[in-house]
Amino acid sequence: MLRPPIELTRAAGVPELPPPRMCRGGCAYEPKWDGWRCAAVVTSGSVMLQSRSFKPLAAYFPDLVVHLSALPGGTVLDGEVIRFDPTAGRTSFAALQRRVTAGRALPREARARPASFVAFDLLHDANADLRDLPLVQRRARLEAVLAGAPTALQICPQTTDYDEALLWLEAYAPLGCEGLVVKDLAGRYRRTGWWKYKIRTTDEAIIGGLVGTLASPSAVLLGRLDYQHRLRYVGHTGPLTVPQQQEIAELATLVESQGYHPWPQPLPAAWLGRFDRADPVPYVPVAPLLVAEIVVDQAYESGRWRHQARHLRVRTDMHPSEVTPWSPDEP
């Protein structure tokens, strides 16, 4: 019987969707959902949910524990906890985060916004460890284990058709799909061996601050103007290259903010998505006069990109008023 901590397979990012010939046994393509990756471990008397970083999650999802407890003892699933918001017509990552901060209101939160578990692998059934079996066999057993399960326990869609996978990129994106995960049908369950292809687009945002120093910025804080012309925080970039640091430093020196700035100083760690690091982040305020061209994924919610953007260049040819206005919904 497998018990936490369980090492979950990691997917390596790729710039292009791998064709079927890239997998020894043929490629399987699955939607990459915007939720919390975790293992579900079912014993005869309990259910454990373990995050990818080995943190226990079951206490936050009593609704899922009830459904999972009906599965045979010994079952260990790998999957994604998601919350589908029927009003928005897509998954809501914010709803998952509210589970952690709900406190005594957790039972009410679970009833009002029930979660789902989307399973994409079976690591152990009632009888044996399955991790040395090829994926195609584990998938067949997964479908047998979850046959007749309640709708809160779902099997992740999977296709071996490359053209259909390309269609899924467009069809599933509005529902909260970030891209596709690619797996070898002959592959055994190991720490590595999957690929992930994320949907990414170029966009623009206003440079509102710099992490580091004015002379040597390490990252850019991004904003957009709302319809009242207030600068709203929308995200941050990853580490800058040396040429990018030099370009931004030269331009930002001209627009360093000397007066009022609408963002708190230092920046709350939660604004950067650092829920495991509580320390706020000091930054250099910049007047909202420079526009950055960035690469972003589909994880945009409540007016912010949740994942790091990749800085491409400063758009000196663009005025901040030309940037898409801030919106709490998809840009």
Q: pLDDT tens across 92-110, in order?
A: 988 998 898 899 999 999 9
Q: Which stretches of 9-147 are DSSP H helices?
A: 62-68, 93-101, 106-112, 135-145
pLDDT classification of 47: cutoffs 50, 70, 90: very high
Task: For residue 142, give the 3-state DSSP assignment.
Answer: helix
Q: Cα separation of 179 and 173, whole Å?
A: 7
Contacts of 108 (CB under 8 A, 6+ apart): 102
Of the chain, the percentage scoring pLDDT greater than 90 comes to: 76
Residue 110, CB-side half-sphere exposure with 13 Å CA sphere: 17
User: How far, in Å, CA of 223 to CA of 236, rounded?
Assistant: 9
- Count CB atoms within 10 A of the CB of residue 134: 16
Q: Please check the confidence at residue 276 and state whether its pLDDT lies above 60.
A: no
Domains 10-198 and 201-322 alike in fold:
no
Question: Is the domain defined by 10-198 classed in CATH 3.10.20.30?
Answer: no
Confidence of residue 88 (pLDDT cuts 50, 70, 90): confident
Q: Say what the pTM is.
A: 0.79
User: Worst-scoring range by mean pLDDT, 74-88, 139-153, 285-299?
Assistant: 285-299
Q: Cα 330 from chain centroid? A: 15
> 197 pLDDT exceeds 90?
yes
Residue 303 CA to residue 35 CA, distance in Å, equals 18
CATH of 201-322, one of 3.90.1300.10, 3.40.50.2000, 2.30.30.50, 2.40.50.140: 2.40.50.140
Degrees, nearest 5: CA angle 92-142-81: 15
Each domain of the chain, given as residue ranges in start order, spans: 10-198, 201-322
